[in-house]
Amino acid sequence: MLVPLFLVLTGFVAYQSKPKQETFVPFLTSQRKSRLSVTLPPSLSGSTVAARVSGADGAAHRQGGGVSGWFTRNILEPLTGPRIPEHTITDCYIFYLATLNDGSGQYLGMFQKWWVVSELQEVSDTTESGPAPGNGGVYEAQAEGQKQDAVQAKIKKDYLKAARAYVEAAKLYEKSGSQFNLMEAAGAYEDAYKTYNMAKQSGLAIQCLENAARLFHSNERGGLRAAKAYNQLGDLLKGHDAKKAAEMYREAAELFKTEGDGRALYATIRQVEQLCILQDYAQAFALYSDTIIPETMAQDILRYTTRDHILNAVIAHLGATKGDWILFEKDLKYFEDVYPDFQMSRSDAVLKSLARTERENDAVAFQNACQELNRLHTGGMPDWQVGLLLKEKKKLEDGNLL
């Protein structure tokens, strides 16, 4: 009897003493300052640091390594946006659970305090006598200096110089050898991507975003951020390089799926669109059949889109089979059985009409069916469908399709 009473009282006290949500950011800021502050050992101060850092400016930055880190985090970072990752706070009734969206930390809020549940810790690159053989501490301090240069350049609206400084910072973070700094490098590449865009250097911007995605992907807690970056790369490339865009969407879909994120389906749909442009109809049909159609059927909010995916899948399979209309009609029958709503749709009726006119070798009726199919698409059929069906019409009679 006493144990349940004790648990009830403990839960009530915990509920009443949850910290305010707005105290989380100051708590996390303090945590990151403590963890990220750059403090070089005495053996690396003064002329020793100057000798190990190329250039007089580099030496000046390194001699004030600790001040440099403090200045970046406390003065400059407010100008460039928060360095605290995006986060989600969930109210679990008797406590709050705060999760960093990049997966690098999780925190518990109860009894008027925040507690660390799990956190990606930076691997130390120093020993008692100075940096370890990789000189990680020096590289990190140099990276801080480059970020300061980038901020100053942005203030002066010299975006090209700022982007180059962010890239140098990213390379230095990579050299440090620390897993934590690899995430910092990825963030610096993201900053370079944004800044190159401001300088209207889209090619260099895309290269930086690719590097950011690569580094996020290499870290076990960077999966979601890598997925977002790959998905963004697909969007940027799809009008210029369909093959690479399809690969980016594939990477995004796999990572979203691993993270249990519903955006995996949308990335797969975009991947298939690029595969059809590349005329890789066999792989497109496989993804429609195995992933897109079953998953949209299973979700009430997306079920209405299934008939459109079936239409695209059947036409893609027609391309994969080099115009096998017998198999085309078998596909229609199969999807009518597994998805009864499709049988009652206008899409099914038009596709059946298309198959019948081909079977009857009636080029005019085939063209009319194609025009009906064109009207089913907002903005008309995609180019890959037009090209594919035009080839089929020319087998009946030369002429325009629409």
Q: What is the pLDDT of residues 186-241, one digit of tens each?
A: 999 999 999 999 999 999 999 999 999 999 999 888 999 999 999 999 999 998 99
For the chain, domain boundaries: 2-121, 159-345
pLDDT at 356 > cutoff 50: yes
CA-to-CA distance for 329 and 265, rounded, in angstroms?
A: 27
Report whether pLDDT(125) > 50. Answer: no
Write out the two tokens for 294: 């079953």
CA angle 254–256–257, rounded 5-degree value: 65
Question: How much is the mean pLDDT over the chain?
Answer: 81
Domain 159-345 sits in CATH at: 1.25.40.10
Q: pLDDT by residue (tens digit) across 323-342?
A: 999 999 999 999 999 999 99
Which string of DSSP letters, residue by residue, matches 104-122?
SEEEEEETTEEEEEEE-PP
What per-residue confidence (pLDDT) applies to 20? Answer: 82
What percent of the chain is predicted at pLDDT more than 90? 57
**Tokens coding 170:** 């990213």
Say if residues 183 and 216 touch (Cβ distance below 8 Å): yes
Question: What is the predicted pLDDT for the residue at 197?
Answer: 95
Which tokens in the block code for residue 240?
């210029």
List b or e across 303-342, with b for residues whose CB sees 16 or more CB atoms inside 10 angstroms.
eeebbbbbbbbbbbbbbbbeeeeeebbebbeebbeebeeb
Distance CA 114, CA 39 (A): 26
Total-model pTM: 0.69
C-alpha–C-alpha distance, residues 186 and 170, integer Å: 7
pLDDT of residue 276: 97
**Is a pLDDT exceeding 60 seen at residue 61?**
no
Coil, helix or strand for 331? helix
Would you place residue 398 in the very low, low, confident or very high pLDDT band (cuts 50, 70, 90)? low
